[in-house]
Amino acid sequence: MGDRIHPAPPQSDVQLVQGNHLLLDRDCPSYIYTESLDGRVMFFRPWHGRMLAGTTETPFDGDPDSIRPTEQEIRRMLGTCNHFFPHSPCTEADILESYCGLRVLPKAGGSAFAASRKMQIITASDPAPYMAVYGGKLTTYRRESEKVLHILARLLPGHRISDTRHIRLQAGASSSRSRTC
């Protein structure tokens, strides 16, 4: 988006990291949060009566509209699944659905797994006030929104920030302390 603005605003150097999910034709009575065979976070959870497995960390540099689960991701995920559930091994024929998303992470040396999951905010004041938000997490949306509003309040003086810290989240909303994928 920033490259459509003139003069060009400062930009953060980000990497896109694909995370894949498989809906498997298996029962899953509980949530299992563990590590895949290569040490990454992996979960198995009930989803519409079947088992949802996630996720992967595959660096991506193509067209975001074209993301698809890779063969290697599927092989690794099924391998991890069969490691933990050897009594009922899954093959590709047991995949009911698959989908993936792209994490927006700061570009850093080393593995994507080690890259920070924190939201990044870039601001500029010249020639006009500018703010860009990269990445972030669902579970911390409230704290992250608050940071954004404090910056906006400096850019747009005269506005009061509503304090929502003591307003209850809706039932079922996630805790901001959960571990991340």
Ligand X SMILES: Cc1cc2nc3c(=O)[nH]c(=O)nc-3n(C[C@H](O)[C@H](O)[C@H](O)COP(=O)(O)OP(=O)(O)OC[C@H]3O[C@@H](n4cnc5c(N)ncnc54)[C@H](O)[C@@H]3O)c2cc1C
Q: Closest-CB residue for ligand X? A: 19
Residue 160 or 179: the one with the smaller Cβ distance to ligand X is: 179
Residues that bind ligand X in the complex, under the rule CB under 6 A = 19, 55, 101-103, 136-139, 180-181
* Beta-bridge mates of residue 15: 105
- Minimum CB separation from ligand X for residue 86, in Å? 26
> What b/e readout covers 42-80, taking b as 16+ CB neighbours within 10 angstroms?
bbbeebeeebbbbbbbbebeeeeeebebeeebbebbbeb
Residue 50 or 118: the one with the smaller Cβ distance to ligand X is: 118
- Minimum CB separation from ligand X for residue 35, in Å? 14
Residue 148 or 181: the one with the smaller Cβ distance to ligand X is: 181
State the alpha helices, DSSP H only, in 54-108. Answer: 71-84
- Minimum CB separation from ligand X for residue 30, in Å? 18
What is the spatial distance between Cα 132 and Cα 130, in angstroms, rounded to a whole number? 7
Residue 65 or 126: the one with the smaller Cβ distance to ligand X is: 65
Radius of gyration of the chain (CA): 20
Q: How buried is residue 150: exposed, middle or buried, by Cβ count under 10 Å (0-12/13-18/19+)?
A: exposed
